[in-house]
């Protein structure tokens, strides 16, 4: 009787899988029919606009074979998978990638199995346009000449790595000493003094005053040892993670390489970098992180709707009771109460600390303000 039941159950699974396959086939037929009808009814509609109407990617006939392999679906070797509800799998590529087909084709042009082009700046610009994640490539990144083993931990936290640890081709500076000294030169550069570990970086988050929260004071808002893992969004050269590591807390740091080897530098300190933009959905499961920190990167340069999605994503990955440390968010005076305070209230955080102060580095007449806040995800 048990064997008979198992046999019937197996037959049922097979029937369900067959039905799923037929449904998927029907969906494709319906999609093709809709496209054909649209061609007949709207012959003047541009192909790309037509694709947008139905959410279907533009035609792929012009794509190179390597690009097709990187972005188009692949049939599963074992057939239909009930777990995936499909018999094929799509490589995860940013939705905007096909809007930049010329740039995408350039990115995917290389010798298979050979050395990848030195196109870090080009690739990052494509990523920041919304082609995130970028397609995978079948080539080897160029390796530094004269590479040596990294400085052992914990000395690595505050050590400047040797110049031979990275490839300098894509950066204006060609040495770490140049990056350290650039704070003395005119001009605006992202995170201008971040590579000087014996300068301002050495003092960050050690003292608690006004808009500047101290690490230890923040950690004291939770039971000892309950803050263990977290994320620093737009964490520059990784100093926040370094200070946390000294307190046995593991922080992953997201950072862009904006005319500087930020990700390589973070890794050289014995910390974990992740090369994702603020537009990307955070690659963590819900209710898992103890703390999320962000300094400067979350501010009024981000479109309001996009910022709200990002804040909800932060709320998603924080565990109940988790902390969101918003560090020096800046905006125009009227925006603070009209736009951003209501936005934070909508997200649902509990305010533990909330400090506002005038931002005067560009002039008092600009009416720019900083907001620092310590927010908690409710326990229920």
pLDDT of residue 4: 62
Residue 140: which pLDDT band, with cuts at 50, 70 and 90? very high
Query: Residue 43: its pLDDT value, please?
Result: 46
Please give the Cα distance from 346 to 304 (Å, whole number): 13
Tell me, rounded to whole angstroms, the distance of Cα 5 from its chain centroid: 48
Dump pLDDT digits (tens) for 249-258. 999 999 999 9
Whether the CB-CB separation of 74 and 94 falls below 8 Å is answered with no
Higher pLDDT, 362 or 24: 362
Residue 125 has pLDDT above 80, yes or no: yes
* E strand residue ranges, the chain: 74-75, 88-89, 229-233, 250-254, 272-274, 289-295, 318-332, 350-359, 368-376
CB 329 within 8 A of CB 369: no
Q: The domain 155-376: what is its CATH number? A: 3.40.50.150
Q: Of 137, 96, 139, whose CA–CA distance to 116 is shortest?
A: 139
- Across the range 207-220, mean pLDDT stands at 97
CATH 3.40.50.150-classified regions of the chain = 155-376
Q: Please, which pLDDT band fits residue 96 given cuts at 50, 70 and 90?
A: confident
**Cα–Cα distance, 100 to 131 (Å, whole number):** 8
Contact 270, 154 (CB under 8 A): yes
- Does the global pTM surpass 0.95? no
- What is the pLDDT averaged over residues 78-106? 89
Give 296-346 pLDDT, tens digit per residue: 999 999 999 999 999 999 999 999 999 999 999 999 999 999 999 999 999
For the stretch 17-67, pLDDT in tens is 556 555 555 554 554 454 455 445 444 444 444 444 334 455 565 788 998
Q: Over the chain, what is the mean pLDDT? A: 87
Share of the chain above pLDDT 70, in %: 84
pLDDT at 204 over 80: yes
Rounded CA gap, 111 and 266, in Å? Answer: 30
């Amino acid at each position: 009787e048990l064997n008979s039941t198992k046999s019937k159950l197996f037959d049922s699974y097979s029937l369900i899988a067959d039905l799923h396959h037929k449904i998927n086939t029907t969906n494709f037929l319906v999609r093709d029919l809709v496209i054909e009808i649209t061609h007949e009814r709207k012959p003047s509609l541009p192909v790309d606009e037509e694709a947008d109407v139905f959410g279907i990617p533009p035609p792929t006939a012009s794509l190179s074979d390597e690009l097709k392999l990187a972005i188009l679906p692949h049939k599963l070797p074992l057939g239909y998978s009930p777990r995936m509800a499909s018999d094929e799998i799509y490589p995860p590529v940013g939705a905007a990638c096909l809007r930049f087909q010329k740039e995408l084709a350039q990115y995917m042009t290389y010798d298979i199995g050979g050395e990848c082009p030195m196109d870090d700046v080009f690739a990052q610009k494509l990523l920041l346009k919304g082609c995130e994640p970028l397609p995978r490539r079948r080539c080897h990144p160029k390796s530094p000449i004269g590479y040596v083993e990294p400085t052992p931990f914990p000395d690595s936290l505050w050590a400047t790595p040797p110049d031979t640890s990275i490839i300098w081709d894509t950066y204006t500076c060609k040495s770490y000493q140049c990056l350290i000294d650039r704070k003395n030169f005119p001009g605006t550069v992202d995170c201008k003094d971040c590579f000087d570990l014996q300068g301002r970086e050495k003092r960050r988050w050690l003292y608690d005053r006004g808009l500047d929260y101290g690490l230890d004071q923040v950690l004291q808002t939770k039971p000892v040892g309950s803050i263990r893992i977290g994320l620093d969004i737009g964490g520059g050269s990784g100093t926040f993670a370094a200070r946390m590591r000294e307190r046995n807390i593991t922080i992953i740091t997201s950072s862009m390489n904006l005319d500087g080897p930020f990700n390589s530098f973070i890794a050289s300190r014995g910390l974990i970098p992740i090369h994702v933009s603020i537009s990307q959905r955070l690659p963590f499961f819900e209710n898992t992180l103890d703390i999320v920190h962000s300094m400067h990167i979350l501010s009024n340069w981000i479109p309001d709707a996009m910022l709200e999605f990002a804040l909800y994503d932060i709320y998603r990955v924080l565990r109940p009771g988790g902390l969101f440390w918003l560090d020096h968010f800046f905006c125009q005076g009227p925006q603070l109460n009209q736009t951003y305070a209501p936005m934070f209230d909508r997200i649902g955080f509990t305010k533990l600390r909330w400090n506002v102060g005038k931002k005067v580095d560009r002039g008092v007449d600009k009416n720019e303000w900083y907001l620092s806040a310590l927010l908690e995800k409710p326990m229920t």
